[in-house]
Amino acid sequence: MVMSSQSVRSDGGDSPFRSAGLADLHLHSVHSDGTESPAEVMRCAFAHGVRTAALTDHDRISGWSEAAGAALGLGMTFLPGMELSMKTELRTLHMLAYLFDPDNAPLRAEADRIRRDRVERAQRMVRRIGKDHHIRWDDVISAAPEGATIGRPHIADALVARGIVSTRGEAFTEILDPGSRYYEPLYAPDPLTAVRLITNAGGVAIAAHPVTSGPESFLSRKEIDELIEAGLGGFEIDHRDNTPDGKAMLQAIADEHDLIVTGASDYHGDGKPNVPGENSTTQEMIARIIERATGTAPRFPDARNIVQRSDDRA
Ligand SMILES: [Zn+2]
Ligand SMILES: [Zn+2]
């Protein structure tokens, strides 16, 4: 991707945000369902030309300090983030949250509750699957990286390791799909609650991949209007799973309401084809996120560590 001269210029007034290079605001580590440590994720992002990065593990912030340390050491700007689970009656959805106060009690409690239920729900699913297939909870534990919040991806890995299915994808379509008889719903707040929790914690709420092709994750116009009313900051538009029609619709709404729009990879490490920096967020939009947030500050690198664009050959 060629950066225009405008993107190297600071649009944030007095903001120290002047980082050139790609900006990827949606990355996962082993603290949720990624395959790499937070530091490895930052190194991988850097190697792909990313100079501003956010770690957005599902419902969890425990990777922040390691990621920030690695990012700053590489001269990158780091935005603390999280991808909060939420759901409507029919669908599970995700809300990206940036620069919120990590000590905000209501948001912390909700994220803790979702994580606890994710593990208990995984145990319930494994008990159901275990009636028909040779799989136990211990197999799932062995399939998960240390410290991971156990979820369906790890059940999938255990099913593969046991030879019950041949790939993670097959595990999801055959056994872990919401239509499957083994499926158990996950606790999550509704989207309005999610936006309010993030906003009240001083964070910026950006709807993650809101227009993917499956009927499962499509937000209606009415739902979107309600979220904007509740303080939604914007949309993650440039994401590989958003449909072209959906992107055009979101861009029109964003223009109409002057919302933030982002682009990101949703990198998970080895398990998925997504590559850091495959989509990028403009410097102007990052400056707007920083300006809007009041929960915590972005972490800016020491000037000595900043790699100039002419040296971007990592
Ligand atoms: Zn997501
Ligand atoms: Zn994600």
- Compute, in angstroms, the gap from residue 28 CA to the centroid of ligand 2: 6
Question: Can you give the pLDDT at residue 125?
Answer: 96
CATH number, position 67: 3.20.20.140
- Compute, in angstroms, the gap from residue 238 CA to the centroid of ligand 1: 13
Say which ligand is closest to the CA of 28: 2
Read off the pLDDT band of 9 (50, 70, 90). Answer: very low
Sheet containing 77-87: which strands, arranged edge to edge? Answer: 22-27, 50-55, 77-87, 92-98, 204-207, 234-238, 260-263
CATH number, position 129: 1.10.150.650
Look up residue 96 and give its amino acid. L
User: Is residue 269 within 8 Å of residue 28, measured between CB atoms?
Assistant: yes
Chain position carrying tokens 């689970």? 85
Q: Are residues 238 and 98 in the same domain?
A: yes
CA angle 226, 227, 230 (to 5 degrees): 90
- Structural domain contains residue 203: yes
Is the confidence at residue 132, as pLDDT, over 80? yes
- Structural domain contains residue 296: yes
Query: pLDDT digits over 205-251, tens only?
Result: 999 998 887 655 567 788 889 999 999 999 999 999 999 988 999 99
Query: pLDDT digits over 76-90, tens only?
Result: 999 999 999 999 887
- Compute, in angstroms, the gap from residue 303 CA to the centroid of ligand 1: 33
Q: What dihedral angle (degrees, nearest 10) is formed by the CA atoms of 299, 303, 306, 309?
A: 120
Query: pLDDT digits over 243-290, tens only?
Result: 998 899 999 999 999 999 999 999 999 878 999 999 999 999 999 999
Q: Are residues 89 and 201 in the same domain?
A: yes
Q: Are residues 145 and 258 in the same domain?
A: no
Size of the chain, expressed as the number of residues it contains: 314
Say which ligand is closest to the CA of 57: 2
Count of domains forming the chain: 2
Query: pLDDT digits over 283-296, tens only?
Result: 999 999 999 999 99
- Structural domain contains residue 239: yes
Say which ligand is closest to the CA of 212: 1
Structural domain including 143 reads 119-176
- Compute, in angstroms, the gap from residue 165 CA to the centroid of ligand 2: 24
